[in-house]
Amino acid sequence: MNVAVIGAGSWGTALAIQAARVGHRARLWDHNTERAEVMQAERQNARYLPGLDFPEAMTVTGHMEHALDDADVCIEAVPSTALRSILPELARALPRSAPVVCATKGIEVDTLYTMDEVLGQGLPPRQPLVMLGGPSFAREVASGMPTAVVVASRDAVANHAAAEALHGGFFRVYDTDDVVGVELGAALKNVMAIACGVSDGAGLGTNARAALITRGLAEISRVAMKRGANPLTMMGLAGLGDLVLTCTGDLSRNRRVGLGLGKGRSLREVLDELGQVAEGVVTARSAWQLAQREAVEMPITEQVYAMLYEDKPVGEVLRDLAGRGRRAERG
């Protein structure tokens, strides 16, 4: 296969490495032409994945039309806030039969569109769309460490092509038709990871972390099922699996944001030090908006939103979460 990967952050780079590792020709696109030339010459992404060399079958380009030339599969991996802006160029260069695999995780602010809805608006009608989710840190994928993910599409042929583009070695790809469940699980777990990081940064212990993960899953499940997701998806790779990884793993950018806030640092300080996108910061706002629109109770999301966007002190956030009234667990 010819596999085009649009977006040369850590995740896009890791997916291009994986596609090339399993025998495909992978072309990685970076919007910065000069940076693309440096990566191609140095054979690694020194900015995001230093020390990990590119496979021979992988190339980097700053020209989207070159990346997409004769592509059998396109993997889109740009930040959620940048996705809409690249769609006109992507739509012009994209082969009409090539499935677009969305590796972006988020919910668009204000419109509250999921990423497949954003893609559906900007790409030609009937362009096959596939969503990618599941517990997967970019550095571990790029390093060839064991990983299991899930692809979701309403088009079984496109789902198969997406899986074939990445499956192999220690990287397993499962499939499902539950697009809504995979999308919302992938997006909302980032908000819960910030909450867990805050708790850990404040030194509240592992009991508190486990409670936040469990009740976070309940929040995600409530809104996902309201939108038509299969509840079993929430117990799988895109739900529980991705949530546990992002809330506990040291490579989690969203957890690191929470850790900094829990230790009393400002959001700006934490993000400046991180130097990469933490999708949960943006998603906290859109998730809060979604909860209001769908009339779904999401107390953890509400508190993370208040902390990030209303300057609510961390101590008050933790106090208000712990002080909520008693209720039945299932509900």
What integer pLDDT is reported at residue 204 of this predicted model?
96
How far apart are alpha carbons 184 and 72 in whole angstroms?
Answer: 27
DSSP bridge pairs for 101: 75, 130
What phi and psi values does residue 90 have, to the nearest 5 degrees? -60, -45
Residue 249's contacts (CB-CB under 8 Å, 6 or more residues apart) are 137, 255
Q: Is residue 263 flagged as an active site residue?
A: no
Classify strands 100-102 and 171-176 as parallel, antiparallel or unpaired: unpaired
Dihedral (Cα; 135, 139, 141, 142), 10-degree rounding: 160
What integer pLDDT is reported at residue 278 of this predicted model?
87
Q: Could you check whether 2-177 and 180-322 share the same CATH topology?
A: no
What integer pLDDT is reported at residue 331 of this predicted model?
62
What phi and psi values does residue 103 have, to the nearest 5 degrees? -100, 5
Contact call for residues 202 and 262 (beta carbons, < 8 A)? yes
Return the amino acid letter for 279: E
What integer pLDDT is reported at residue 275 of this predicted model?
85
Domain 180-322 has CATH 1.10.287.70: no
Residue 322 tokens, joined:
């712990």
Neighbouring C-beta atoms of residue 88, cutoff 10 Å: 11
Q: What is the pLDDT along the chain (331 residues), one digit of tens a residue?
A: 999 999 999 999 999 999 999 999 999 999 999 999 999 999 999 999 999 999 999 999 999 999 999 999 999 999 999 999 999 999 999 999 999 999 999 999 999 999 999 999 999 999 999 999 999 999 999 999 999 999 999 999 999 999 999 999 999 999 999 999 999 999 999 999 999 999 999 999 999 999 999 999 999 999 999 999 999 999 999 999 999 999 999 999 999 999 999 999 999 999 999 988 889 999 999 999 999 999 999 999 999 999 999 999 999 999 999 888 888 887 6
Judged by phi (left if over 0) then psi (alpha if -120 to 50, else beta), residue 12 lies in: alpha
The domain limits of the chain are: 2-177, 180-322
Domain 2-177 has CATH 3.40.50.720: yes
What phi and psi values does residue 100 have, to the nearest 5 degrees? -105, 115
Sign of the C-alpha dihedral computed for residues 265, 268, 270 and 273 taken in this order: negative
